[in-house]
Amino acid sequence: MALPTAGHKGDSDPVREYRPDAPVVVSRWPFRRIAYVLGVTAFGAGIPTPLYALYEQRYHFTAGVLAAVFAAYTAGVLATMLFVAPLSDAIGRKPVLYLGMGLTAASGFAFIGASSVLTLALARIVSGLAVGATTSTATASMASLEPRHDQHHVARVSVAANFGGVATGILFSGFLVEYAPAPTTLVFVVLIVVSLVGALAVVRTAETVLREPKAIRPRVQRLSVPSAIRRPFWAAAGSLAACYSIYGFFAAIGPTFLRIRLDIASTAGSAAVVATMFGLAAISQLGLGQVRDRRALLVGFPIILAATLVLTASVPLSSLGFFAVGDGVLGIGVGFTYMGAVTLVDRVSPAVERGEILSAFFLVGYLALAIPTIGIGVTVDHFGLSVAATSFGVALGLSVAILYLLTWRTPTPPGGGGRPRGST
């Protein structure tokens, strides 16, 4: 998932969002090319989801092990997000984007060569490294390449590219598993090809940071949250955590639940159901022209809560209809909530601390992607899919209700260090 921000640096070195001496952009094509690069890494992250059933049969691992393999991705994301992505301010965006496309292709080779649970986990880590290197850097480039420097448009497109890329990866992979030979190889060959196209897109795009002729010092992205914005920060971070936990459940456990509990034997069919949630989260960005930050959260939470009730009811009823309706509505709610979370934290973050605050924000999100997913997998092993799915639904519903009350009682700070609602 993307970090809709245009800078990495902390208070000792001001954030560079748009520089007057950077290239003047009059065409939308450079912006679109980098959005494609962003989508490629998300596409690669979504591909393994329909393949987990094949890997599970091949290597005979449990749901808990599957969840751990899925969550290994988080370690890779955090490694490059905190150690590599900040270097783009010093060495330029393009070298980091080349690295991201190279790692995306490398993850394809790693999955093709995977022959055990350990090598699958390593392939997932490489995929996470690619996402961590690419997402914040690509979004920062998009912020400079957007002709009108409309940061809300940048955020919408980056969110849509990520959710849309994941949905496309799941759907494409599911259909290859169902209808093509050697699905665990062919789909990753496609990933390698689209990664090479992404590298060519970077070649054709101008650098948006003027590199400084000084020694480059490796550094770790610091994490901090000023006391003045902690309340809206935690409202936003909790909202992001809810979205990422949903992502983890659907991407790691969703296909297994559909196959075993709802008796969907078709891999393409289960992939289509799971991809619907991510696809509608992307499409919902079309309706978010003026609905952002706190307002988007207050719209998204009730939608997620309603969808969670329907999905939870589908478990004892073993109803595909209930699950499909809840799945689609949940996608819309996630789209609103995710956008609301990232625009809220961005708006209240002082510019000189923006990188540190956003890094802390996404750290919360990625921990929520990994830890609940592993917990669900362990619950499946000990108590079964029905108990795990119901427990997740109840916990998610309670969390969203609490987040709604917290957000309702937390007015967005007017101005201050943050960007006004209409700021670009």
Q: What is the DSSP letter of 205?
A: S
> Residue 212: which pLDDT band, with cuts at 50, 70 and 90?
low
What would the pLDDT profile of 91-106 be if each residue is shown by its tens digit?
Answer: 889 999 999 999 999 9
pLDDT (0 to 100) of residue 215: 55
> Residue 423: which pLDDT band, with cuts at 50, 70 and 90?
very low
pLDDT, the chain, mean: 86
Q: Which domains does the chain have, with CATH numbers?
A: 29-207+223-408 (1.20.1250.20)
Cα gap 127→106, rounded to integer Å: 8
CA 384 to chain centroid, in Å, comes to 28
Closest CA to 5 of 355, 418, 421, 360: 355
SS3 136: helix
Closest CA to 100 of 141, 59, 49: 141
- Residue 418, pLDDT > 60, answer no
Which whole-number Å values give the CA distances from 160 to 164, 286, 319, 329, in the listed order?
6, 9, 29, 17
Residues with Cβ within 8 Å of residue 279, at least 6 apart in sequence: 163, 164, 167, 171, 331
What would the pLDDT profile of 260-303 be if each residue is shown by its tens digit?
Answer: 888 888 899 999 999 999 999 999 987 777 777 888 999 999 99
Helices 230-248, 63-83: axis angle to 10 degrees equals 140
86-96 burial by CB neighbour count: b if 16+ within 10 A, else e?
A: bbbbbebbbbb
Q: Express as a percent the part of the chain with pLDDT over 70.
A: 88
Cα gap 348→165, rounded to integer Å: 28
Query: pTM of the predicted model, to two decimals?
Result: 0.88
